[in-house]
Amino acid sequence: MDSCLIRIVYLLTLGVGGGYLLDPLPIDDTTDLSRSPEFIRHPQDAYITTKNKVVVLSCTARHATQVNFKCNEEWVRPKSVRNEIRFDPHTKTRYIDSEITVTRSQVEEYFDVYRCVCVAWSGPKTAVESDRAKIQIAHLKKHFVREPVHTSIEAGYPVQLQCLPPEGAPMPEVFWLHDGQPIDPSQDGNFIISPDGGLILNLARLNDAGNYTCGAKNIAARRTTEPAILTVYVNGGWSDYGAWTACDARCGRGIQKRFRACNNPEPLHGGLGCLGSPVQKGDCNVVCPAEDGQWSSWSEWSSCSPDCLHQRRRTCTNPEPSNGGAFCVGQDVMSGNCTGGMCRGAKLSKMTQQKKVPILFGSKLDNNPARIDITLSGRQSDSSTWRLYLGVAGAFAAVFLAIAVLIVVIRRRRNQPIYDMPNDNRHYQTDFKQPLRGLPNNSNFSMKLPPFNREAMFLSKSGQAFDNFRDLRNSPTQNSQSPLIEMNSSCRSDSSIEKPRCDSQASFEKSSLHSTTNSSNYAESECEPSEATPLNGMAGNESHQSLASFANIPQLPDPDCIVFSSLGPAGGQLNLPASGVALTVPEGCVKKGWHVEFFLGVSRESTDRPRVTDRQTLLSPVVIFGTSEPCLGKSTVLSFNHCAYINTFNDWNLTVWYNDCMSEGDFGQWKKIAILGQETINTPCYTQLDTKKVHILTDMPGRYALVGQSKVNCSAVKNLKLAVFAPETPASECSVRVYCVEDTKDALEAVTKIESQLGAVLMDKPQTLRFQDTGKPLSLTVEDVFDGWQVKAGGQQQEIPFTHIWSGQQAALHSSFSLVPTSFPVETLPRCNVVVRQVDSVYTQTLLMQGTPLIDNRPKNVYANLTVSQFGGSTAGISTTKTVFRIPGSTRRKFCGLMDVPRAQGNDWRMLAQKLQVDRYINYFATKPSPTDQILTLWEARNREETALSDLVAILRLMDRMDVVELLQSNLACWL
């Protein structure tokens, strides 16, 4: 021991207040009793382990005469306190080092936290306490609060493995092992251990795959979890296409192919294969060489004629002339004199001139027939011939009359109403441009129909139906179907047919409709054969919102593009199949006991589109939906097509635009309500972008559109649809129109209708062309014009400016080419190729015209039948809950109850959103009362294939949620 330390043994006396005080220590001249004691070392917190069953607490004070310990407010017996006094010769200061020993049994006997404090005196009334020290028994529990789970991540993406250590004292330190080797974040910057114990990989690499073990340790013990497997996979990518194969047709239209491989990169470790086909097929056209016609062999000689001549013929069919080849040269008929006694002689000619008819009678007894010449007058012969002709004509007329009567009877039975209707004398006049089915094509014909009652389409809860449709049965067209709504339509275009324009009005007049039946049928929309099926009826005591409660219903020029329906708490779906638009109304969107009117429409008016800048582009149609009840219980899903090329998704800035205006003539103000990738909890909707469709979860009725813009230093790509039309019959001049519109079903449907009204037909299958944001125009060139036609001088090539196409503001954008025949008469339509390409771009497409229409797209007479269910809903294009929702309401509520509860393994609604690929902005679902319910609504709208339910069960199995799988299997066994 240091020589400066002096060990002193002193006596004890019982101090004032019950504490043990030491006898005064020896005091020398250097001790300053006027100064208060001061601790320069305080007792520290200590832990007792199983190996070391005691702990030593120590403290050091200066300017003190006495030092003792007090634990849990009780003085430690002096015999347990060890004090040492030392002097600093330089400062002449006296120090007292004091320590005690605390055993495990002392700590265990005290049921609260065991604390000790060091007390120093410099006089009888001068005492100073040190900091309190806490003594605990060191421990570490066995079970982790959260263990890492098996995880799969695509290479190049960040991933986090969760870990929460078990409780312990002191606080355990978290460490990680990769395949049994410790991970040191200071050595590998790709790893980060978060404050809560999780392991973060900034970018998952292929060599990062393996077993990861989370560990926790303190002075008491060391614990580890079960290894979690991290799989780093690589999704496959397509290589570039190879060269095109040769055209498989010897001449004319054919198919050529080119191939690509899924090796850029190859899928690894369970990564997805490449989407799409490795083979791309394209139309090709080989110019057929001209083939001259050749004569067939001569036929046999005919019998000898009265003038002693016979003939034989041949045809130019060996082969026929084709592709502009020359016709056979020479005569097709050869005549010659009869020889060899074949001529009948002059007597037969004379008899023929006298109109004698020889009649031969043969007899068994006489081998030589007897000839009887009967001479007939010209008048008698002509009379017999005419009687024969009249008899044959009468027979044909009787057959046709019988067939016509049969058709009328069948149609009358087919159109027989299923209920009786009272008479009503109210009529209105309708002027149709197209003749009705079964009626003469007379432009002066007018048909009387009862006035259409908009309010009666959705009846009140009294259950009223039709009362004035008997006029249809008494009208001249009782055996034919009738249009539902009067449409006065006029189509006009300028001489160049550059921008055909159609103005239509659908007028609705009010009337009261009554029905004597509760049968529920459907109403068909003109734009597509109806998909409507009846919805569930409603009880008489349920409330119902009438169509009249709509503040403003948009009067769309095209009645084919709007559909109405009354939906109850069970929900349903509205569809416009020809436009690719749907509205999914989930269960619970309409409150219990109510029925709410919904309508869904598409506006094709250019004035109704949002005004975008030169660099922005409209990527979808303007879709409208509205309700008679402004407050909905849940969000609906609005689904429609878009034309953004998703393979360049990182090049796009996509936004959802919204307009709450519903009235006609006032198009309101468009505003951005969502920027994809920058959503916050204040974003009012969720947008799910798929390859060709966009689905918007929203509860705000109004107009919606998707608008895009290229990111900085990027050139986004959108898809255009190219369609070529020409007149159905050849004329002195043929106008070929090539449309360049957005690649959506509605855009193609719109131009097809326009061309149908102009009497044109589609000449080739519509092709898709990728159009890049480079500022370059679109070039259209007519090539390979076949014989018989030529392009007007100077009109072989045209260009459409970039801004006209990119903005998407001009509906039915197209170019026209005029072709004129080189010879007459004109027998076929022109044959040529139209090559469409963007200037300085790799994207090109060829449209082939083979002289015949691709399909017959002439307008057909379309009729709408109106029937009303007992709650009065017109259900054109409506699907019932049985056909829309794969999971019934009761099963769905149990499903949500199980998945909404957070789980330590993470296999709750959050993992479900990830597996269904709807986790782009998962916080949207977190703000809803039931996140799973929102996810299932979106799943119902996106997945319409028959295997959707089986695929969902497979995902739940991968999530290890067998409780939900058993729920679905027990309730939906017939569908799995």
Q: Is residue 506 domain-resident?
A: no
Whether 71 and 145 map to the same domain: the answer is no
Distances (CA, A) of 294 to 288, 423, 787, 971: 18, 72, 21, 74
- Which token pair is 783? 């090539």
Q: What is the pLDDT of residue 514?
A: 34
Distances (CA, A) of 726 to 141, 338, 739, 816: 82, 56, 11, 10
Within 13 A of 631's CA, how many CA atoms are on the CB side?
2
Residue 586: cis peptide before it, omega within 30 degrees of 0: no
- Which token pair is 360? 């031969």
Q: What is the pLDDT of residue 214?
A: 96
Q: In sequence order, which residues have a C-beta less than 8 Å from that of residue 944 and are 6 or more positions away? A: none
Q: Count the neighbouring beta carbons within 10 Å of the beta carbon of residue 313.
A: 13
Whether 247 and 315 map to the same domain: the answer is no
Of 252, 270, 288, at which residue does a domain stop? 288
> HEC string of 833-865?
EEEEEECCCCCEEEEEEECCCCCCCCCCCCCCC
Look up the CATH number of the domain holding residue 180.
2.60.40.10
Whether 150 and 260 map to the same domain: the answer is no
Look up the CATH number of the domain holding residue 819.
2.60.40.2660
Look up the CATH number of the domain holding residue 922.
1.10.533.10
Of 288, 303, 325, at which residue does a domain stop? 288
Q: How far apart are CA 834 and CA 909, in angstroms?
A: 52
Residue 252 domain boundaries: 237-288
Whether 108 and 169 map to the same domain: the answer is no
Whether 99 and 145 map to the same domain: the answer is no
Give which of 31, 810, 869 is closest to 419, Cα–Cα. Answer: 869
Q: Is residue 33 domain-resident?
A: yes
Q: In sequence order, which residues have a C-beta less than 8 Å from that of residue 375 and are 6 or more positions away? A: 354, 355, 356
Q: How far apart are CA 916 and CA 930, in angstroms?
A: 17
Helix, coil or strand: residue 702 = strand
Q: What is the pLDDT of residue 343?
A: 58
Q: Is residue 323 domain-resident?
A: yes
Whether 339 and 307 map to the same domain: the answer is yes
Q: What is the pLDDT of residue 203?
A: 92
Whether 255 and 206 map to the same domain: the answer is no
Give which of 743, 746, 721, 724 is closest to 735, Cα–Cα. Answer: 724
Helix, coil or strand: residue 207 = helix
- Asked if residues 154 and 218 have their Cβ atoms less than 8 Å apart, the reply is no
Whether 894 and 971 map to the same domain: the answer is yes
Q: What is the pLDDT of residue 851?
A: 65
- Asked if residues 133 and 116 have their Cβ atoms less than 8 Å apart, the reply is yes
Look up the CATH number of the domain holding residue 245.
2.20.100.10
Q: Is residue 183 domain-resident?
A: yes
Whether 38 and 64 map to the same domain: the answer is yes
Whether 255 and 333 map to the same domain: the answer is no
Whether 110 and 197 map to the same domain: the answer is no
Q: Is residue 92 domain-resident?
A: yes
Angle between helices 962-971 and 948-958 (to 10 degrees): 150
Q: Is residue 596 domain-resident?
A: no
Q: How far apart are CA 12 and CA 929, in angstroms?
A: 72
Q: In sequence order, which residues have a C-beta less than 8 Å from that of residue 176 and are 6 or more positions away? A: 161, 163, 182, 183, 191, 193, 199, 212, 213, 214, 215
Of 302, 318, 344, at which residue does a domain stop? 344
- Domain count of the fold of the chain: 6
Q: Is residue 673 domain-resident?
A: no
Look up the CATH number of the domain holding residue 331.
2.20.100
Segments of the chain with pLDDT less than 70: 1-34, 339-387, 412-558, 662-668, 851-852, 854-883, 973-976
Q: Which amino acid is at 884?
A: V
Q: What is the pLDDT of residue 528?
A: 39
Whether 324 and 263 map to the same domain: the answer is no
Q: Is residue 820 domain-resident?
A: yes
Angle at 510 between CA 590 and CA 589, to 5 degrees: 5
Give which of 637, 777, 756, 651 is closest to 699, Cα–Cα. Answer: 637
